Amino acid sequence: MSVQFGKWNFDRRPVTQEYLDKVGATLAPYGPDSNDGYSKDGVAILYRAFHTTTESHLEVQPHISPSGAVITWDGRLDNRKELIIELRDSLTGDHTDVALVAAAYERWGNNCLGKLVGDWAVSIWNRNNRSLLLAKDPIGTRHLYYWIGGNQVTWGTLLDPIIRFAGRTFDLDKEYVAGWFSSMYPAVHLTPCVDIHSVPPSSWVLLRPGSHTVSKYWDFDPGKNIRYRTDCEYEEQFRTVFAQAVERKVRSDRPVLAELSGGRDSSSIVCMADTVIARGQAECPRLDTISNYDDSEPNWNERPYFTKVEEKRGRTGWHVNVGQKDEDQAAEPKARPEPPSTDRFVATPGYDGRTSGEMKLCLTSQGNRVVLSGIGGDEVMGGVPTPISELQNHLVRARLGTLAHQLKVWALEKRRPWFHLFWEAARDFFPPSVVGVPKYMRPAPWLQSNFVKRHRAALTGYPSRTKLFGPLPSFQGNLGTLDILRRQLARAAAPFDPPFDKRYPFLDRDLLEFMFAIPREQLVRPTQRRSLMRRALFGIVPDEILNRKTKAFVSRAPLVGISRDWARLTEIAQDMVSSAIGIVDTNRFLEALQKARQGDDDKFPTNALTTTIFLEGWLRDLRTLRVMNLQTTMGHGLALSPSMQG
């Protein structure tokens, strides 16, 4: 992705060159292909390009529209042809993505945003009415942050320069921290800092001196229903929209790299990409693959599956052994990864965006700048074989005969009493405060009670009830699942060294609209999860992949790591930043570490324990960086010990 940055002093005071030079140096690793800017009337805008398409090489940004609007665009337009036709009277010879966005803004104003299909984030400085418009695509594949402080506003792709060069410290947002302890991530608008916000997906933020408005510009239509007479028609249309989604994501002037795990999602993307490239429908010179394997994990033997895809396409991909190896047995001992940087602000605990050594070698040797990911496939395609949404639909429609029949069929398939399934479907209509949350979503037992009370919603994944009236429960469930995916994407650190553009075919807007509009029973059937996907891709994806058993991977690595690093972990637990600021109870955390080390509880919340360790390391890095206020706890006024203040 390309990166953008801007600062607007409301009093028209010029932004200093020294400040811009420091910001520019921070942006450089993410956007190595240009270094351009705009500065006038107290507004300074920087843009660093990372070219991934033929048209992007022709762009000049920041882009000045005929009316004088200054536009910086980080993204890829997927409906270029449609926009070119619709805007043909407004376009000159410049058909770059940013030129199309500028023409759309000139014609439709803020209403243009819903017409922009693709992955993008845009900022528009309107010098005529002195306003700043920030917006992101409906899925939220790009980052865009902003801070309104005093007499200025600062915005950009990266949090790091906004925070480090602010000339002040920020309070830690504990709701953001709490969101990491759930499996569903912090809310999309949150950042680690109380006063700094993230632009929500499918929304625009309009900023003027003394005015701050956030509004949604587009959403999925609950009234859109697609009904065909036969399964074959659904399968044909799925192939069409999925092929279009993949074709859009492989648009690149260089070879594209696809993650190939051997599962249905990644394999389907690779096989469909080969199909559209062979037809001459894709702007992509070549598709490469990268596959991870770990022979030390008894539950993870993916090589037979991803090699089956390689056999079909006649090409061997890049293979990475991610398992732990005895260095004495390794042919060539590998250098250890560099430790996380403490001179940059890292927003994601446990990952700073640094590309691994193997991935770096793969990208640079093959010239890849675009990476395809299968994220979203499991959630969108019916990877979880649950009938709950379908049963809820029958319930709210009062189709009691059909409901009774489906309860019987699914009870036999699941080998569970029908009334258990009925209660599971019905309980979602009650408030979480009445029925509680599932055990796997409950807060970790080593968190301090006050922290849990204040941030229970974030700690439990922001639970909500299904509404009896309004959109169908299946549609509500689809939006709820999409919101979780949006939170996940919002926490993905921007990659660098080298940078690359990550794309998600299963999260294509048109594909999602189709999947949300068809009957739920097309996706999941009692004897077949991912029913539509498996039927439609027969002959395109190898049968061994389509009909394989679901991957059930349980990694032993976290428990092995705890045993290996026991001395260091217990030392850390004696003087924890997260304990001093009111998050973790040290004694209960030590008890949890001991249980994990002994490995006598197969239901132990290992993920929450790993998250706690990552968060502690992250908080210590923030303490070293001295940009966050970590001296006060949640209402107790407890200060950090001198040793922890650094």
Which tens digit of pLDDT belongs to each residue from 264-305? 999 999 999 999 999 999 999 999 999 998 877 666 678 889
Domains parsed from the chain with CATH numbers: 3-144+199-216 (3.60.20.10), 231-381+485-546 (3.40.50.620), 388-473 (no CATH), 557-629 (no CATH)
In 3D space, the residue among 576, 580, 645, 559 whose CA is nearest the CA of residue 616 turns out to be 576
pLDDT tier at 326, thresholds 50, 70, 90: very low
Q: Is the model's pLDDT at 37 over the cut of 60? A: yes
Residue 628: CB partners within 8 Å, gap ≥ 6?
A: 169, 170, 171, 172, 192, 193, 622
Q: Is the model's pLDDT at 340 over the cut of 70? A: no
Question: Maximum CA pair distance of the chain?
Answer: 73
Residue with the bigger pLDDT between 632 and 319: it is 319
Residue with the bigger pLDDT between 642 and 414: it is 414
Question: In the block, which residue shows the tokens 């799925």?
Answer: 238
pLDDT for 566? 76
CB-CB neighbours of 12 under 10 Å = 11
pLDDT for 138? 97
Residue with the bigger pLDDT between 529 and 32: it is 32
| pLDDT tens track for 123-142 | 999 999 999 999 999 999 99
Q: Is the model's pLDDT at 598 over the cut of 90? A: no
d(CA 311, CA 21): 50
**Percentage, residues of the chain above pLDDT 90:** 73
DSSP assignment letter at 468 = S
pLDDT for 329? 38
pLDDT for 333? 37
Inter-CA distances, 203 with 120, 137, 139, 148, 353, Å: 12, 8, 10, 18, 25
Mean pLDDT, residues 147-152 taken together: 93
pLDDT for 568? 81
CB 262 within 8 A of CB 334: no
| pLDDT tens track for 499-510 | 999 999 999 999
pLDDT for 608? 86
d(CA 51, CA 41): 30
Mean pLDDT, residues 30-46 taken together: 96
Residue 11, judged by CB atoms within 10 A of its CB (0-12, 13-18, 19+), counts as exposed
Which range is least confidently modeled, 175-179, 294-298, 395-399? 294-298
pLDDT for 461? 92
d(CA 418, CA 426): 12
Residue with the bigger pLDDT between 560 and 394: it is 394
Residue with the bigger pLDDT between 26 and 464: it is 26
pLDDT tier at 631, thresholds 50, 70, 90: low
Phi, psi dihedral angles at 153 (to 5 degrees)? -135, 135
Q: Lay out the sheet containing 70-77: strands in order across.
A: 63-64, 70-77, 118-126, 131-136, 203-208, 211-216
CB 523 within 8 A of CB 382: yes
| pLDDT tens track for 351-376 | 888 888 999 999 999 999 999 999 99
Residue 132: CB partners within 8 Å, gap ≥ 6?
A: 6, 8, 123, 124, 125, 126, 153, 155, 206, 207, 208
Which range is least confidently modeled, 65-69, 219-223, 325-329, 610-614? 325-329
